[in-house]
Amino acid sequence: MGVQLLFVWLYWELGHHDFMILWLSASFALHLVELSKWRRDRHSLSALDQCRDWHQHFTVFALASGLLWGAAAVVFFPHDLFNQGIMISIMVGLVAVSVTLNPVHPPASVTYLGGIMLPLMARVAAENDALHWKIAGMLLLFSMVVLFSGRVLTRNYRRVLQQRFENETLLRELEAQKNLNEEARYRLELANAELRQHEERLESMVRERTSELRQRTDEIGLIKDATILALSSLAETRDNETGNHIRRTQHYIRLLAQHLRGHSRFKDFLTEENIELLFKLAPLHDVGKVGIPDHILLKPGKLTDEEFEIMKQHALLGGNAIAAAESEVNIQSHFLRIARQIAVGHHEKWDGSGYPFGLSGEDIPIPARLMALADVYDAVSSRRVYKHAIHHDEVVKIIEAGSGTHFDPDIVAAFNMIKHEFAAIAEKFCDAVPDGAQASLI
């Protein structure tokens, strides 16, 4: 409204005062109405219909404001060129400023420009001389340039606004995605915490169950060992042999197995596990003697041929007892198979002249071949009620003589390399001899 006051002040002396006051009042009234409506509606433009009503209202206001200035140009147009130039400059400046300051509403800019420039160009042309025709043409050219510049400015401004809205939309989307990610991360952390707790519970359960399983496995192992010792002890109660015979044969067979474990013929079978099984199962080699009658088993002298045939049955009796246990549990037990091979086959000979089946060579299971040498060494080197103990060197000669006939030659070769250790075991677990017996040996 300051421009209207400046305009009135400049042309007060050149125009009709009543018209000046009337024009100024109309301008003030128009701006007051516009300002009042703007203050009332600026915070309520949310619905599309409200924005459309404001668009129409603003376009009408721009047209009315432009026509007021156009009317001033027609009514108050001065006669001298100097004041005419000042008025034209004011009008041109208003148009330029309106287009520059209002790029967001092209209809208002166009109607405002038309309301001012059309009456102004008509009034300038009405002077009807060459100079004023040129000025009118320049004003027309200026109007076209302003309209084109306004379109470019509006397009650029819209692009900026669109980019701003897109950025704001993208920012909101990013913020929403960030919130979703935070929520997902929080849920994932909760899930991970639950999984960790579940994993810890499972690990604790596994540790407990593993401990229980290990304890039961150890118990089963101890029960196996106790069962073997109980069975072998039962056989001993009906035989003249002593408990040290069991301990010695256990150590003999383990010593042989450990020495042969790198041999090409034995390495596949003689694993650490199987060597330990051989040590534990060796006491069962004579378990079948439980089924031999006492008058034969305990006979102090040499057995007759008939009695020896009955004695030979102890190998089958022991094997059948273990086989019966195997069928009872209804599983193929590696443990029981080795026990059966020892009990049945420890009297088989390499050349096939042994019993109970007359097996020969590689047909004799490895556990039986090892047990055969360990049992013969202990039987020959130990004292019995019906014979004296034979010296270690003589026993070695007997074993060597049996290589390829009674024993596997490779096992005899291994025995020769560790024969002094056999002697040490025999001495460590020697039988206690009564004084009278000791005197007879001396």
**Do residues 113 and 107 make contact, with C-beta atoms less than 8 angstroms apart?**
no
**Do residues 356 and 347 make contact, with C-beta atoms less than 8 angstroms apart?**
yes
**Do residues 411 and 256 make contact, with C-beta atoms less than 8 angstroms apart?**
yes
Percent of the chain's residues with pLDDT above 70: 82
pLDDT of 325 strictly over 90? no
Q: Go through 148-185 and write b for each residue having 16 or more CB atoms within 10 A of its CB, e for each that does not.
A: eebeebbeeeeeeeeeeeeeeeeeeeeeeeeeeeeeee
Select the highest-mean-pLDDT range: 115-119, 154-158, 329-333, 341-345: 341-345
Distance separating alpha carbons of residues 17 and 11, to the nearest angstrom: 10
pLDDT of 438 strictly over 60? no
Mean pLDDT lowest among 128-137, 245-254, 339-348, 383-392: 383-392
Mean pLDDT lowest among 55-59, 366-370, 435-439: 435-439
Select the highest-mean-pLDDT range: 2-6, 73-77, 184-188: 184-188
Tell me which H or E stretch contains 256: helix 243-260
**Do residues 397 and 377 make contact, with C-beta atoms less than 8 angstroms apart?**
no
Distance of CA 4 to the CA centre of its chain: 79
Distance separating alpha carbons of residues 410 and 398, to the nearest angstrom: 16
pLDDT, residue 417, reads 97
Q: Where are the domains of the chain?
A: 2-175, 237-441
Residue 98 CB partners (closer than 8 Å, separation 6+): 62, 109, 112, 113
pLDDT of 281 strictly over 80? yes
- Could you identify the residue written with the tokens 């051989």? 278
**Which pLDDT band holds residue 164 (cuts at 50, 70, 90)?**
confident
pLDDT, residue 103, reads 61
Q: For residue 422, give the nearest of 241, 246, 256, 243 by alpha carbon.
A: 256
Q: For residue 356, give the nearest of 336, 375, 373, 341 by alpha carbon.
A: 341
pLDDT of 382 strictly over 70? yes
Percent of the chain's residues with pLDDT above 90: 32
Q: Decide which of 336 and 407 is more confident.
A: 407
**Which pLDDT band holds residue 399 (cuts at 50, 70, 90)?**
very high
Any idea how long the chain is?
Answer: 442
Distance separating alpha carbons of residues 147 and 152, to the nearest angstrom: 9
pLDDT, residue 385, reads 60
Distance separating alpha carbons of residues 18 and 21, to the nearest angstrom: 5
**Which pLDDT band holds residue 275 (cuts at 50, 70, 90)?**
very high
Q: Decide which of 165 and 257 is more confident.
A: 257
**Do residues 104 and 157 make contact, with C-beta atoms less than 8 angstroms apart?**
yes
Q: For residue 96, give the nearest of 46, 146, 52, 53 by alpha carbon.
A: 146
Selecting from 3.30.1360.30, 3.40.630.30, 1.10.3210.10, 1.20.1440.230, what CATH number does the domain 237-441 have? 1.10.3210.10
Token output for 27: 């301008």
Distance of CA 212 to the CA centre of its chain: 29
**Which pLDDT band holds residue 204 (cuts at 50, 70, 90)?**
confident
Q: How many CB atoms lie within 10 A of CB 30?
A: 16
Q: How many CB atoms lie within 10 A of CB 341?
A: 21
Name residue 384's beta-bridge partners: 387
**Which pLDDT band holds residue 440 (cuts at 50, 70, 90)?**
very low
DSSP 263: S
Mean pLDDT of 143-165: 72
Mean pLDDT of 318-325: 87
pLDDT tens readout for residues 225-243? 556 555 555 555 555 555 6
pLDDT, residue 141, reads 86
Global confidence as pTM = 0.54
pLDDT tens readout for residues 352-367? 999 999 999 999 999 9
198-206 long-range contacts (CB < 8 A, ≥24 apart) are: none
Q: Decide which of 412 and 47 is more confident.
A: 412
